């Protein structure tokens, strides 16, 4: 998977979609820094995800952003999204491939080179490591380090996504150590000081 280097941002959706969300998303995408958008809604039902997903898919397509669904391979297929992100407790990548074929599949590898090797062997399109920092989005069970990033880069050319508490203060270090994409959520959607567009402008 080769992408434009300037488009290093991988946005994860807020946990609730409010009335300003779609407009904010359009403005963010206009900045041309985003490669991926992941729909991650844990607390709403399938039908609502379908409605929200259809709207987001149109916006993603317009701005050439890959639309990824978190956890749910069936929803990925139904929406004909660009791909799916799978955690270690979700459907395994081999089964997912049977359902969605040649679409993008990314795998959560926490802070484990061992898990990354399994994902790479199974032809994951990217491996995600984290959390690199404390995160507001979810409780941090696994802490990943820059050292881990360096080790991973030595063993693979597969794209690496860094996740966890990434903001304008700490993002550069991850890019300098060869993370291909930075997964960001709360810095954009739950920022008490900056609006989503202002937050994204600080990531250069």
Helix (H, G, I), strand (E, B) or coil at 32: coil
Helix (H, G, I), strand (E, B) or coil at 54: helix
| Half-sphere exposure for 137 (CA within 13 Å, toward CB) | 25
pLDDT in tens, 153-179: 999 999 999 999 999 999 999 999 999
What pTM, to 2 d.p., does this model score?
0.95
CATH code, residues 9-201? 3.20.20.70
What lies within 8 Å, CB to CB, of 58 at 6+ separation is: none
Q: What are the residue boundaries of the structural domains of the chain, listed by start?
A: 9-201
DSSP lists the bridge partners of residue 84 as 69, 105
Predicted local confidence at residue 33, as pLDDT: 96
Work out the number of other CB atoms within 10 angstroms of the CB of residue 131: 22
What distance in Å separates the CA atoms of residue 128 and residue 108, rounded to the nearest whole number? 5
Instruction: Give me the chain's average pLDDT, please.
Output: 94
């Amino acid at each position: 998977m080769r992408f434009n280097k300037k488009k290093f941002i991988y946005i994860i959706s807020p946990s609730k979609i409010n009335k300003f969300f779609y407009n904010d998303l359009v403005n963010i995408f206009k900045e041309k820094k985003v490669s991926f958008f992941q729909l991650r809604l844990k607390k709403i039902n399938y039908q609502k995800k379908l409605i929200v997903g259809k709207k987001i898919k149109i916006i993603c397509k317009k701005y050439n952003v890959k639309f990824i669904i978190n956890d749910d391979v069936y929803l990925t297929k139904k929406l004909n999204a660009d791909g799916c992100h799978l955690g270690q407790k979700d459907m395994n990548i081999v089964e997912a491939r049977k359902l969605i074929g040649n679409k993008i599949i990314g795998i959560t590898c926490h802070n484990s080179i061992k898990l990354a090797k399994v994902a790479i062997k199974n032809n994951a399109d990217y491996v995600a490591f984290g959390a690199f920092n404390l995160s507001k989005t979810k409780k941090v069970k696994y802490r990943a380090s820059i050292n881990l990033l360096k080790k991973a880069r030595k063993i693979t050319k597969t794209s690496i996504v860094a996740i966890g508490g990434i903001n304008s203060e700490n993002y550069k270090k991850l890019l300098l150590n060869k993370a291909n994409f930075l997964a960001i959520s709360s810095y954009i959607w739950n920022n008490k000081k900056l609006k989503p567009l202002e937050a994204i402008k600080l990531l250069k």
